[in-house]
Structure 1
Amino acid sequence: MGFFLETLIGGLMAGMLYSLVALGFVLIFKASGVFNFAQGAMVLFAALAMARFAEWIPGWFGLEGSYLGTAAAFVVAGALMFVVAWLIERLVLRHLVNQEGATLLMATLGIAYVLEGIGSTLFGNDIYKIDVGMPKDPVFLFEEVFPGGLLINKEDFIAALIAAVLVGLLTLFFQKTTTGRALRAVADDHQAAQSIGIPLNRIWVIVWCVAGLVALVAGVIWGSKLGVQFSLSTVALRALPVVILGGLTSVPGAILGGLIIGVGEKLSEVYLGPMVGGGIEIWFAYVLALVVLLFRPQGLFGEKIIDRV
């Protein structure tokens, strides 16, 4: 029982990190109606900025060995992501208002390549570390309940907690604020939203800024776990099945989809992997997403679209 709970908890913590990355996809889709293929590049760019600023800023201001340097690096990296979001809206999206979804999709592909190129030019191509002070040693819990206790990774637990708090705040933002409702209106119909006075350009700036913040948090967490390297941009591919499972328009769906896939990956790898030679964790999420697409193309929590003719 203890081993099962360890696996289950590990899956839930991994699922929260998947949800955080998937949330970036959902945010952009809800505001523009297009799948943002630049999300992985945004995570990479944000992680590179955080890693390099964490190296540079302490030396500039004499903050070596102080967490003030790391905090300042996070603030500066966040400001940079806001600037990137503003430039994306000003230089790209503003000129594509009311265009076809395929046009916007291709624009996000172009943005992805531009961000990767600029990130390489500004911050370099090496592998960097991000140290935000999260403990990496495991800890045993509930030793009085289970023999030997439950082995929990502190870093994974703190990362999952941060992701859960951010996801919760963004859910409240979408559901309870005027701006959040405006974002949903823009996602439903750009022209109708404009006709009632919702400024489409400002809404897109806001949602890309929020997506940039999400990318920064995701980049810091994944960079702390795996190191910052250009393969980090592929972490978004791990979130694709989460988006498909939860639904492109559902913030709660991104959360639950991430948890389902995180738990499913861990349990299938531990209990079914030995029967088939292992490797289930690599493809489990994609097979699950494919099955969902066959029976419910809009995802478990997405909105069903009906066209009347």
Structure 2
Amino acid sequence: MDFLLEVLVGGLLSGVMYSLVAIGFVLIYKTSGVLNFAQGAQLLFAALTFVSLVEREVPFVAALAITLGAMVVIGLAIERFVLRPLVNQPPITLFMATLGLSYVIEGASQLLWGAQVHGLDLGIDDAPIEAAGIFISQFDLFAAGIAGAMVLALVLFFRKTRTGLAFRAVADDQVAALSVGIRLPRVWVAVWIAAGVVALVSGLLWGARLGVQFSLSLVVLKALPVLVLGGFDSVAGAIVGGLLIGAAEKLAEVYIGPLFGGGIEGWFAYVAALAFLLVRPSGLFGQKLVERV
């Protein structure tokens, strides 16, 4: 039983980090209907910028502030020069725009900082600690705590601030939001900046775990099963979906993996997501689309 709980807790802690990446997608999708495929490139750029500044002996806090400023600028630039000119275009056009944007950001990252692999140390030991007979990674606890705090901050922001209320109004009905005087470009700017901040936090956590390298941008693929399960337009769905996917893949690797020779953790989540699509395409918390003809 202790071993089962240990595996389950480890999976849930990993799931919190999946949720954080997925929330970046949800923020953009809810307000603009864009599946932002550039989220992974933003995550990579943030991690690479931060670690490169630290290696150049820039103080930790200053490097974090500079990287945050860079992510804000990127968010502003994307909204102004990519999203705004493509308003009311078909979803496939917007998706292709973000796909191309991801390569632009990755190219800019390589041009600025090079293509070498970096180790990122946040000062947190990865040694396990024992709690009630269960061994838990200190870094996993730290990462889950930071991700949880980030999620809580976003929830409070969107529920307690005027910008957050405007975001919710736009997410519910853009036409109605326009009719009461809400300016969509301002909301889109705020959301892209928020997505950039989420990419920064995700990039630092995943970069510390996996190393800062160009394959780090592929971390966003881990968010896709989470989005399928929870729903592309639900922050709560991203959280619940991340926890479910994290726990399911760890349990599957331990208890089902030996039947297949191991190694199923990398693809089990996608199989589960595909099966879930056949049953509930909108996800657990996603809004069902109703078309009248």
Q: Does 2:117 match 1:120? A: no
Residue identity matched to 1:114: V
Q: Choose 171-180 or 284-293, whichever is displaced more.
A: 171-180
Match of 1:100 in 2: 90
Match of 1:62 in 2: none
C-alpha distance in 2, partners of 1:194/1:48?
38
Match of 1:63 in 2: none
Deviations along 1:64-97, whole A, 9 cap, x unmatched? xxxxx11211111011000111111121112122
Structure 1: where are the runs of 5+ without partners?
A: 59-68, 143-148
Shift of 1:176: 3.6
Match of 1:130 in 2: 120
Match of 1:166 in 2: 150
> TM-score with structure 1 length normalisation?
0.91
Q: Does 2:62 match 1:72? A: yes
Contact 1:50/1:130 (CA < 8 Å) preserved in 2? Answer: no
Change (3 A) 1:213 1:122: same
Match of 1:40 in 2: 40
Q: 1:178 aligns with which of 153, 162, 167?
A: 162
C-alpha distance in 2, partners of 1:57/1:79?
18
Contact 1:57/1:72 (CA < 8 Å) preserved in 2? Answer: no
Match of 1:20 in 2: 20
Deviations along 1:143-178, whole A, 9 cap, x unmatched? xxxxxx321110111001110111122123233433
Match of 1:220 in 2: 204
2:201 match: secondary structure: helix
Match of 1:292 in 2: 276
Shift of 1:99: 2.3
C-alpha distance in 2, partners of 1:4/1:133?
29
C-alpha distance in 2, partners of 1:57/1:77?
14
Contact 1:25/1:39 (CA < 8 Å) preserved in 2? Answer: yes
Shift of 1:117: 0.6
Residue identity matched to 2:135: L
Shift of 1:200: 1.4
Shift of 1:109: 1.0
Residue identity matched to 2:100: G
Structure 2: where are the runs of 5+ without partners?
A: none
Match of 1:64 in 2: none
C-alpha distance in 1, partners of 2:165/2:87?
19
Contact 1:98/1:191 (CA < 8 Å) preserved in 2? Answer: no
Q: 1:262 aligns with which of 241, 246, 255?
A: 246
Q: RMSD value over aligned CA atoms?
A: 1.3
Shift of 1:45: 0.8
- Alignment map for 1:84-99 (pairs within 5 Å): 84-99=74-89
Match of 1:66 in 2: none
C-alpha distance in 2, partners of 1:290/1:127?
33
Q: Choose 71-80 or 211-220, whichever is displaced more.
A: 71-80
C-alpha distance in 2, partners of 1:176/1:248?
23
C-alpha distance in 2, partners of 1:243/1:24?
11
Match of 1:302 in 2: 286
Q: 2:130 aligns with which of 140, 154, 160?
A: 140
Match of 1:3 in 2: 3
